[in-house]
Amino acid sequence: MIEVKHLVKKYGDHLAVDGLDFKLEPGRIYGFLGPNGAGKSTVLKLILGIIGLDEGAIFLRKEKMHSKDGKSIKERVGYVGENVDFFEKCRLKEIKQFYQLFYSTWDEKHYRSLMERFELLERYKMSELSKGMKTKFSLCLALAHRPELLLMDEPTSGLDPL
């Protein structure tokens, strides 16, 4: 599904990621474990192209992620970040309308099904949601375009075990 080859990221003299290599097979769930500052979130941001890599390459189903056609590849990836405190004054409906503009594969029926499953109403403002509800909404946004790959940073943050 995804292959990372010799991934390197430096911040000044600090080496955040040092020659990382791995492959993730489709249909499986993987987790990065490690102490704070180990580079877990940095690796996710590198995969998503949120930050630039210094060396190495990242492939999604053998296609290079950071190429001229990166948008079409990024449409195939969903992401739920650790901090979901964006658009605090906006209603969920407004955020969804903005977000869906970036995905030609947006599936409104699937989005509505997810919102119902998580018991979220589009009239809510982000500022009215608990941390767990914000995470659930982020999941709705990340899954509504039916990505092949879902990346999550601190995925259980604020969620009830059930």
Model confidence band, residue 84 (pLDDT cutoffs 50, 70, 90):
low
The pTM for the full model equals: 0.82
- pLDDT digits over 34-54, tens only? 888 888 888 888 888 888 889
Which residue carries 């210094």 as its tokens? 54
83, pLDDT greater than 80: no
Which residue carries 């990242």 as its tokens? 58
DSSP for residue 159: -
28, pLDDT greater than 70: yes
Model confidence band, residue 87 (pLDDT cutoffs 50, 70, 90):
confident
Burial class (CB in 10 A: 0-12, 13-18, 19+), 149: middle
